[in-house]
Amino acid sequence: MGTNNFGRDIRALRTKRGMGSRELSRLVGKAETYISQLERGLIKKPDYNTAFEIVKLLGFTESGIDKFLESFYQIKSPLKIAAEAEDVENLDEARAAKIEEMWTQRQEDIDNDQEYHVNNFEKEMVNIESEWMIELIDKLKRRNEEIKMELSFNIDKNAQTFEPVINNLYSLLTSMRKDRGNFNFFVGLFENDLSILSQESKDKILKVVKEEMDEKK
C-alpha cells in the first residue's frame, strides 16, 4: 500500500472516532488544514513523526505503530532508515574486505603456483558475487511478501473492484514467459515510482490506456 492511501485511511479512522480534521491537525501541531490536505492526497508523504502522532491519537498502541506504518505505508522511522543504511554500509565493507583478502592471497599464490592462483581466484570471485546476489534475492522475496499482503488487504476491502485488476495482472504476468514484449512493457512501466506522479499525470496515462483499449475492442 502506498503512502497516498495513508490519508484515505486516516479519514476513515478519524470519521469512525468522531474526530474533526481541524481538531486532529491542532493536536499534532500542524495548521488546521493539514489533515484535510493529507486526506485529499495533497500531501503525498507525511514525515514519520507526524504520521506516528496521528496514528497514536487515533487509538493505536505506541509499541505497534512503527511496524504498522512501515508495513502498510512504507513510512519508516529515522532509526530504521539509519539501521538499513548501516546494514548496506557494513555489507559493502565486508565485501571490500573479502576482495582485499583475496587479492592479498592472490599475490602470495602467484609467487608459488600461478596455475593454482588463477583457478582459485576465479572460484572465489564467483562466491563473492553469489553472496551479493543471495542478499538481493532475499530482499526481493521479502518485498514480494509485502506486495502479497497489500493485494490481500485490497481484495478483502474491495473484492468486486479488484476482481478485474487481479485477473488482468495475472494475464500480463503469465504472458511474460512467452512474450518478450509484455516482459519489456511490465519492466518499463514499473521501473518507475508511479506513486509520485501528479493526479493530472495519472489521468493522462489512464486516458491513453483507455483509448488504446477501446481501439482493440
Out of 57, 73, 89, a domain closes at: 73
Question: What is the predicted pLDDT for the residue at 123?
Answer: 60
Residue 91 and residue 106 in one domain: yes
Q: How many domains does the chain have?
A: 3
- Consecutive 10-residue averages of pLDDT for the chain (217 residues): 72 91 93 92 87 91 86 84 74 70 67 56 57 74 81 78 82 84 81 80 82 73
Residue 83 and residue 149 in one domain: yes
Single-letter amino acid code for the residue at 65:
I
Question: What is the predicted pLDDT for the residue at 124?
Answer: 57
Question: What is the predicted pLDDT for the residue at 126?
Answer: 54
Out of 73, 102, 125, a domain closes at: 73
Query: Are the CB atoms for 109 and 122 separated by under 8 Å?
Result: no
Question: What is the predicted pLDDT for the residue at 2?
Answer: 46
Residue 147 and residue 210 in one domain: no
Residue 146 and residue 172 in one domain: no
Out of 46, 73, 100, a domain closes at: 73
Structural domain range at position 53: 4-73
Question: What is the predicted pLDDT for the residue at 27?
Answer: 94
Closest-CA residue to 14 (of 33, 29, 36, 30): 36
